[in-house]
Chains A and B, each alone.
Chain A
């Protein structure tokens, strides 16, 4: 029984990691209907920025964290301006390809600048564990869970309660109509990319003690976070986190109870089954096409 609880808790911690990255996917999709395949790579880049500030320049952890988030928010805006804006309004497939290309590019460039070794950041959460009874939970994982909950809550409120959030939802529904209503669509899209890059950076920095930072971390984790976003129903913020936690728990359970090899496949099998039964994901909204 204890094993089960321990697996469950570590699965949830792992799932929050996926959820945190999936949040970035969902943000961009929710506001612009663009699937950003470079999301994981933005996270990787954020981690490298934080490493530069904290590990190389010797800044305070929180200062470095903030610096990386700001830099990456600007970088997100730049990426949006250069890669996404010219093809906004074209078929989704083009944009997916463009972001895949962007991901390739960022991975190689990061590998060339920061090398191919695993890098590490010293964080206040690096050491120490929390013990509840005989349950053991490391602080670094707890920090990820806390950050996921906080960010998810903030973003949910942002999208549903603020004017800017409403403007974002409007422009995703129908850019032209939103523009006629006086919403500065281009600026809205820009801001969304900045926010999503900032969230990705937060994920990258918090993950640094767990997964380390290397140029492929974005690809590996991005490919896990992507099913999480789909499982929750692309476009739903709580869905992304629930999807992430589900994937994390399934993975950790499969790794513990099933023979070797199931761990990597189980999340995808579950995803396929869910998509078969509910093609729009767990929290997706089912809509009919108007002809």
Chain B
């Protein structure tokens, strides 16, 4: 077990607390770099989505995880980014320009949403962001001269300095990955700066933060703007990856997916945002795989337990019928959310921390270390 001996404040906020980090992340980067040459194109395409979802997850994590402002409107920010990119691309604006424009415009919109949100808390903030998302969705569907309404918009292949980057090429993957890494490093730096500490202070207690001299309004708006801007950048990449966007892609369900990303990953850590994105995107191929292979497996198990050939094939048909039933995916989704909230409230990253600690303290690990305290006395109304 390694003990970190801190002698300086700098030791406390270092990006890499010890050399082990360099090795782990180096290996991870190397693996990600060779991925396009090893993995199948379908998995690569999913990996691009992982990068985009993780970027949005990091953005949402800044707002919800670190500033404590819940938002169910991030699909709208993604939509604004995507549509800005698609609109500007029509006029042959070069990629770097409309990429920046998508992020900045979304950031400005985010700040504008942040102002009214200043007075709102908890459930009222949630409904305000939902309302905002609905209004944006409706505008996208109705403002036909700009957005082409429900017909949607085509997004042409990306052109960077005269080079075409197709949405399935490894270059596009590296672009998304690069932006994700940039976002994560940027966010890490933000979080160890006074701004980031102010965010966390506001999350933990707004009143305490205010009495310590933090300008709560300013930092809340900043948090909204930064979170929205990151989502807007991701929206531009999202539009390119899909190559076609229409208003019904950016519904409340997408916002809920983003919340699921940070919930399953584990709020309060950037690792969580990435793990959650991997989980959410990769569950699709996993379910498809299970759908095809599980009935056969069940039948195999049944026959080893002494079921006759006929009843085994009967069981296989039954299982296949259930597996291909419409809407099974939604049920599994719902079940996963409920199970995570009930049994793994700290998310995937929390589980990883627990496993790590278990081995570090091997015979002495106590389950109670991670037990959360229940607060029965709070009333949100008096907050």
B207–A172 CB distance below 8 A: no
Q: Does B88 contact A (CB under 8 A)?
A: no
What bracket does the count of chain A residues touching chain B fall in?
Answer: 35 or more
Q: Which residue from B131, B325, B336, B337 sits with its C-beta under 8 Å from A112?
A: B325
Cβ contacts under 8 Å, A109 to chain B: 327, 331
Give the distance in Å from the alpha carbon of A103 to the alpha carbon of B333 in the complex.
10
Q: Which interface residue of A29, A83, A268 has the most chain B CB atoms within 10 A?
A: A268
Question: Does residue B326 face the partner (Cβ distance < 8 Å to A)?
Answer: yes
Q: Are B375's CB and A89's CB within 8 A? A: yes
Interface segment, A7-15, A45-53, A93-101? A93-101
B181 within 8 A of A: no
A174 near B122: Cβ-Cβ < 8 Å: no
Contacts of A102 in B (CB 8 A): 334, 338
Interface string of B102-122 (1 = CB under 8 A from A): 000000000000001001111
Contact stretch, chosen from A125-133, A154-162, A199-207, A269-277: A269-277
CB distance from A285 to the nearest CB of B (A): 7
Look across to chain B and name the residue whose beta carbon is closest to the beta carbon of A115. Answer: B326
- Where chain B touches its partner, the secondary structure class is helix
Contact stretch, chosen from A54-62, A69-77, A226-234: A226-234
Q: B residues within 8 A CB of A116?
A: 326-327
Q: How far is the CA of A3 from the CA of B330 in the complex (A)?
A: 43
Given A102-B334, A107-B330, A108-B330, also A90-B207 (CB < 8 A): no
Contacting pair B342 A176 (CB below 8 A): no
Q: Per a CB cutoff under 8 Å, which of A98, A100, A111, A281 touches B326?
A: A111
Taking the closest CB of chain A, its distance from the CB of B343, in whole angstroms, is 9
Q: Is B123's CB under 8 angstroms from A230's CB?
A: yes
Contact with A along B18-50 (1 / 0, CB 8 A): 000000000000000000000000000000000
Asked if A289 and B382 make an inter-chain contact with CB atoms under 8 angstroms apart, the answer reads yes
Q: Does A35 contact B (CB under 8 A)?
A: yes
> Of A97, A264, A276, A280, which is within 8 A of B259 by CB?
A97
The answer, among A103, A111, A172, for a CB contact under 8 Å with B379, is A172
Q: How many A-B residue pairs have CB under 8 A?
A: 157
A181 at the interface (CB under 8 A from B): no
User: Which of chain B's residues 200-216 have a Cβ closer than 8 Å to chain A?
Assistant: 207-208
The 0/1 profile, CB within 8 Å of A marked 1, for residues 123-134 of chain B is 110111011101
Residues on B with C-beta less than 8 A from A290 are 382
**The stretch of B2-10, B135-143, B225-233, B292-300 that contacts the partner chain:** B135-143
Q: Is the CB of B334 within 8 A of A105?
A: yes
Contact B374–A101 (Cβ < 8 Å) = no
Cross-chain contact of A291 among B141, B207, B325, B331 (Cβ < 8 A): B207
Q: For A100, list chain B residues within 8 Å (CB).
A: 256, 259, 337
Cβ contacts B324-350/A at 8 Å (1 or 0 each): 011111110111111001100100000
Is the CB of B367 closer than 8 A to any CB of chain A?
no
Q: Is B252 positioned at the interface, with any CB of A under 8 Å from its CB? A: yes
Q: Is B78 an interface residue (CB 8 A)?
A: no
Assess the A101–B377 pair: CB atoms within 8 A: no
Q: Say yes or no: A175-B376 contact (C-beta < 8 A), given A90-B345, A98-B342, A104-B333.
A: yes
B201 smallest CB distance to A (angstroms): 14
Contacts of B256 in A (CB 8 A): 100
Contact: B345 with A94, CB < 8 Å? yes
Tell me whether A275 and B120 are in contact in the complex, defined as CB-CB below 8 angstroms, given that A33-B379, A98-B337 are known contacts: yes
Q: Is residue A163 contacting chain B, with contact meaning CB distance below 8 A?
A: no
Is A279 in contact with chain B by the CB < 8 A criterion? yes
Q: B122 near A272 (CB under 8 angstroms)?
A: no
CB-based contact B338/A101 at 8 Å: yes
Q: Which 7 A-B pairs have the closest CB atoms?
A: A101-B337, A105-B334, A104-B334, A89-B374, A108-B330, A108-B331, A268-B131
Q: What are 10 A-B contacts with C-beta separation under 8 Å?
A: A86-B342, A87-B345, A104-B330, A109-B331, A116-B326, A223-B252, A264-B138, A265-B138, A269-B135, A279-B121
